Amino acid sequence: MTESISLVLPNIEEEGIFHVINESRKLFGKSLEIIVVDKSSLEYEKTLRKTGVTIIKQKDKGVENAVMEGLRAAQGDILLSIDADDTHEIAGLKKAKELISAGKADMVMGNRMSGIQKNAMDNYIIFGNNALSGMFSFLYGRRIHDILTGLFAMDRKAFESIKNIEPYRIGIGFFAVELAKRGYRISEVDIKYYVRKQGRSKLAKSKLLWGLRMAWLMFIKKFSQ
């Protein structure tokens, strides 16, 4: 049987999303379900609707909440997500999906850390990502190099086990933590990470307090029910 695939894109008026949509359809075909969880102006939304994607207006703050809203609405057997800013290597979605299809993992995350284009990621984010990824790997016994990635694939059955949990504010790491706690297999694929080509980020840059909060939440969630 052919597996159905859903792609969730969290979005705040990203110019790069149109390239992401087009390239994703080239990878997976026109049957790909694309859900954009959007927090943009009505004028921008009119342009986005012309692409034929499903649009959900985001209710809560945070990328983890946006992705969760999209995943709950998705119909696919395999669930994908990628940042809408066109900085992650889109071909990584297919690499990640293939590991899920082969039964080798329940969640596959895109590892940008060995493929960062010059000036694409600030040094303080690299440092913080390495520290947080090391902490996750130590606590949860899954070797992960990029816990702050914006690209992943997930098996439907794994998602069903966590879909009713309200996300806490640690980005995509929320999904990795909750699946690891339940014994699911988490893997990585190496991807390239590019300099933003269009516009400026609508999201606040990662800060020290956000990183410390993420570290604290990963620690306390390890030992909570």
Instruction: State the CATH number of the domain containing residue 147.
Output: 3.90.550.10
> Domain containing 15: what range?
5-222
Q: What is the pLDDT, as a whole number, of residue 83?
A: 97
Residue 216's H or E segment, with its range, is: helix 208-222
Residue 125 class from Cβ within 10 Å (0-12 exposed, 13-18 middle, 19+ buried)? Answer: middle
Asked if residues 193 and 121 have their Cβ atoms less than 8 Å apart, the reply is yes
Render 135-201 in DSSP notation, one character per residue.
HHHHHHS---S-TT-S-EEEEHHHHHTTTTSPP-SSTTHHHHHHHHHTT--EEEEE--B----SS--
Which residue is listed with tokens 């790997």?
Answer: 137
User: Minimal CA–CA distance to 48: which of 59, 61, 34, 68?
Assistant: 34
Which residue is listed with tokens 């949509």?
Answer: 21
Give the pLDDT band of residue 1 (cuts 50, 70, 90).
low
Local structure of residue 114 (DSSP, 8 states): T
Q: What is the pLDDT, as a whole number, of residue 208?
A: 83
Which of the pair, 199 or 196, is modelled with greater confidence?
196
16-30: pLDDT as tens digits:
999 999 999 999 998
136-173: pLDDT as tens digits:
999 999 999 999 999 999 999 999 999 999 999 999 99
- Whole-model pTM: value is 0.94
Local structure of residue 86 (DSSP, 8 states): S
Residues near 150 by Cβ (< 8 Å), separated by ≥ 6?
63, 81, 82, 83, 87, 88, 110, 171, 172
43-75: pLDDT as tens digits:
999 999 999 999 999 988 899 999 999 999 999
Residue 98's H or E segment, with its range, is: helix 91-101
Q: How many domains does the chain have?
A: 1
Local structure of residue 88 (DSSP, 8 states): B
